[in-house]
Amino acid sequence: MASLWRVRVTRVSDNTVELALSAIHPDAGEPSASAAFAMRLLADTDPERLDREAGPGAYWDPVALAEYADRVIASVSVTARRRLPFDEDAARRAVEAELRARGLDPADATAWQAAFLDAWRAFWQDPDRVPSADLEIRPADVSWLAGIIQGREWDTAAYG
């Protein structure tokens, strides 16, 4: 599965982690305050542990993950929502307007398509243009915070 979010650890304490999420794919949707979404994000830092404790493939198994996450995650809050809800059609129109401003003509289908794909990829790499939010996770099992350090970044296919 494709990555949906870029994650950056912005704060870690003894019992809480704050993550900055930026969408990197239009299918990312809305960041969720569900325990399952939070568990997937934490499990990205130790996937073998999730498999050991919740069962093989639990990351993708909604039932197994929900049961485990409800025991391990005490609370989740989504704050600092930016560019949400996301209007993909408006984003596409903005990219097309940029291409026209550069002098590209949609009638030249080959050049237009190549330029659009490049610009669309660049759009999803610009954190100032994509949907983003902060997520604060308070695990009931704080051992899930071991090894998570401020500044760490990763891409994730987490959903939920």
Local confidence band at 160 (pLDDT 50, 70, 90 cut-offs): confident
pLDDT band (50, 70, 90) for residue 68: very high
- Band (147; pLDDT cuts 50, 70, 90): confident
Rounded distance, CA 35 to CA 15, Å?
15
pTM > 0.85: yes
Residue-level length of the chain: 160
Nearest of 18, 32, 25, 41 to residue 151 by alpha carbon: 18
Mean pLDDT of 87-102: 96
The per-residue pLDDT for range 6-25, each reduced to its tens digit, is 999 999 999 999 999 999 99
Predicted local confidence at residue 137, as pLDDT = 98
C-alpha pair distances (Å), 1 with each of 8, 87, 133, 134: 20, 23, 22, 23
Q: Which amino acid is located at 82 in the chain?
A: R
Cβ contact 3:25 at 8 Å:
yes
Say if CB 6 and CB 127 are below 8 A apart. Answer: yes
Taking CA atoms, 27 is separated from 31, 123, 130, 157, 158, in Å, by 11, 14, 12, 10, 11
**pLDDT tens, position by position, 104-145:** 999 999 999 999 999 999 999 998 999 999 999 999 999 999
Three-class SS state of 149: coil
Q: State yes or no: pLDDT of 1 exceeds 80.
A: no
pLDDT digits (tens, 9 = 90+) for 13-59: 999 999 999 999 999 999 999 999 999 999 999 999 999 999 999 99
CB atoms closer than 10 angstroms to residue 43: 24
